[in-house]
């Protein structure tokens, strides 16, 4: 029987994506393992392989189409011995249990499934059922939409990965008029106003302009950062670090590098910062934490997400087990991750997860700034430029190279004292780089 190719979920929280392009045309023979198409998610463009053999009878969703829902049929494969033209003409009566196209199996670091961020995954790397006991698994956006509409999530069937309730399911429930809560909860939810919609037509009168359509990545960035600022209680701690010893140590180490060959390296200030953060998290493990409704998650691994600017947005590739890596290993890992991030070639497990984030704008001359927390992580460190400033040493004015760092903290999981303890440990390590070796 004809086989429907479904839009795959390329990450635990993906609800929709864009068909970037088809690599097979209608009428082509398809074998298991061959690449059918490329799908653009919020973070990368990934190849999708076929799991069935036959003939690609009909492409239901053309290349370039955005907003394609997970599990939506995107093509039909005629099984061996079937007339592909007849299958295409009939629209393809799909088999009772159609298979989705195969996707790379993401090995995702454990994340709280019901946390406030858009990157939370089940502890095993696969989604839990939508209903487990009294707990309902749904995306943060679906929860908020259901609350505002007065819907009972327990009465909604999820269509997301693993049966998780997503935006489309809530919209369907709203249009169907079902799954309503009792009057009292509905009245309470009415007091929470929905975020105001921003229409380009409402602001178009300001003058000549060009409307640039939102990419999938930009839409997800807008949604997740809005959710973070609305749902995560941020507070901020800033510390100034003198980095003259760090700069001298960096220069000395770089001077020892071979000019060419596999052993050559060039350490950056950011490499030292990643290592210092990792060592400080080992010293203050309570800062290496995430919030969930079930409790605080204290992570065993120190996996550092590092913000990297790419065309159309940013991505946070992960230096895993950064506390166990040397500076050269961290430097090589970051160069490789950043290069592949800009080419859209990162694997899901290389940018999903992470236990702590770093955003460094020092190379742009930014003195200091406060970053938005990347849920479900509990902290993100914003790093400014190192610049010469007057300082007081032994009661006298002196000049030192100073770098300002601001820690954005989720107050639900990390208190002020813990945040201050972490920054104190970080400052000591940065100002005495030999402490990284201890």
3-class SS at 199? coil
- Helical segments of 26-149, H only: 84-90, 140-149
Give phi and psi for 84, each to the nearest 5: -60, -40
> Is 168 part of the annotated catalytic residue set?
no
Structure-token pair, residue 84: 């592909």
What does the alpha-carbon distance between residue 315 and residue 307 come to, in Å, rounded to a whole number? 6
Among residues 131, 209, 234, 411, the one annotated as catalytic is: 411
Strand 3-6 with 73-78, pairing: antiparallel
Cis? peptide before 286, omega within 30° of 0: no
Comparing CA positions, the residue from 124, 135, 143, 422 lying closest to residue 289 is 422
Angle between helices 244-255 and 416-431 (to 10 degrees): 50
**C-alpha torsion 359→366→280→427, nearest 10:** 180
Among 58, 121, 114, residue whose Cα is nearest residue 90 = 58
Are residues 371 and 363 in contact, defined by beta-carbon separation less than 8 angstroms? no
- Work out whether strand 356-360 and strand 304-306 pair parallel, antiparallel, or are unpaired: parallel
Which residue, among 228, 335, 350, 336, has the nearest Cα to 290 in the 3D structure? Answer: 228
* Residues sharing a CB contact under 8 Å with residue 277, sequence separation 6 or more, in sequence order: 304, 322, 356, 358, 381, 426
Q: How many other C-beta atoms can be found within 10 angstroms of the C-beta atom of residue 298? A: 14
- Are the C-beta atoms of residues 362 and 304 closer than 8 Å to each other? no
Range list of H helices, 66-210: 84-90, 140-149, 167-176, 183-189, 200-203
**In 3D, which of 330, 375, 382 has the Cα closest to residue 353?**
375
Q: What is the secondary structure of 113-133 as a DSSP string?
A: TTSSSTT---TTSSPPPSEET
Give the CA dihedral 264, 267, 271, 272, nearest 10 degrees.
130
Positions marked active-site: 411
């Amino acid at each position: 029987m004809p086989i429907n190719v479904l839009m795959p979920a390329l990450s635990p929280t993906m609800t929709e994506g864009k068909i970037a392009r088809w690599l097979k045309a209608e009428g082509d023979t398809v074998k298991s393992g061959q690449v059918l198409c490329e799908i653009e998610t919020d973070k990368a463009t990934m190849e999708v392989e076929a799991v069935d053999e036959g003939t690609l009878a009909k492409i239901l969703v053309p290349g370039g189409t955005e907003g394609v829902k997970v599990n939506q049929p995107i093509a039909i494969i005629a099984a061996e011995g079937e007339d592909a033209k007849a299958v295409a003409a009939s629209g393809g009566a799909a088999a009772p249990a159609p298979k989705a196209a195969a996707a790379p199996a993401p090995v995702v670091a454990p994340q709280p499934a019901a946390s406030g961020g858009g990157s939370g995954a089940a502890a095993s790397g696969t989604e839990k059922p939508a209903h487990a006991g009294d707990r309902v698994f749904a995306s943060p956006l679906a929860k908020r939409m259901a609350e505002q509409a007065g819907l009972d999530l327990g009465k909604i069937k999820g269509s997301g990965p693993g049966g998780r309730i997503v935006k489309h399911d809530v919209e369907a429930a709203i249009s169907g008029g079902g799954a309503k809560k009792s009057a009292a909860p509905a009245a309470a939810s009415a007091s929470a106003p929905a975020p105001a919609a921003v229409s380009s037509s409402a602001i178009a009168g300001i003058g000549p302009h060009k409307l640039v359509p939102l990419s999938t990545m930009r839409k997800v960035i807008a949604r997740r950062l809005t959710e973070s600022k609305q749902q995560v209680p941020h507070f901020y701690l800033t510390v100034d670090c003198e980095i003259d010893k760090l700069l001298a140590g960096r220069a000395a180490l770089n001077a020892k590098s071979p000019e060419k060959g596999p052993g050559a390296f060039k350490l950056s200030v950011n490499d030292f910062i990643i290592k210092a953060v990792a060592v400080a998290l080992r010293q203050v493990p309570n800062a290496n934490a995430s919030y969930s409704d079930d409790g605080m998650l204290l992570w065993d691994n120190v996996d550092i997400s590092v913000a990297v600017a790419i065309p159309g947005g940013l991505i946070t590739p992960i230096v895993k087990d950064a506390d166990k890596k040397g500076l050269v290993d961290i430097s090589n890992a970051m160069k490789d991750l950043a290069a592949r991030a800009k080419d859209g070639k990162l694997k899901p497990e290389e940018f999903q997860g992470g236990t702590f984030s770093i955003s460094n704008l020092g190379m742009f001359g930014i003195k200091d700034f406060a970053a938005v927390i990347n849920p479900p992580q509990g902290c993100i460190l914003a790093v400014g430029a190192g610049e010469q400033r007057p300082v007081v040493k032994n009661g006298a004015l002196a000049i030192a190279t100073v770098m300002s760092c601001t820690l954005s903290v989720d107050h639900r999981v990390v208190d002020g004292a813990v945040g201050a303890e972490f920054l104190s440990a970080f400052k000591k390590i940065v100002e005495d780089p030999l402490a990284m070796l201890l």
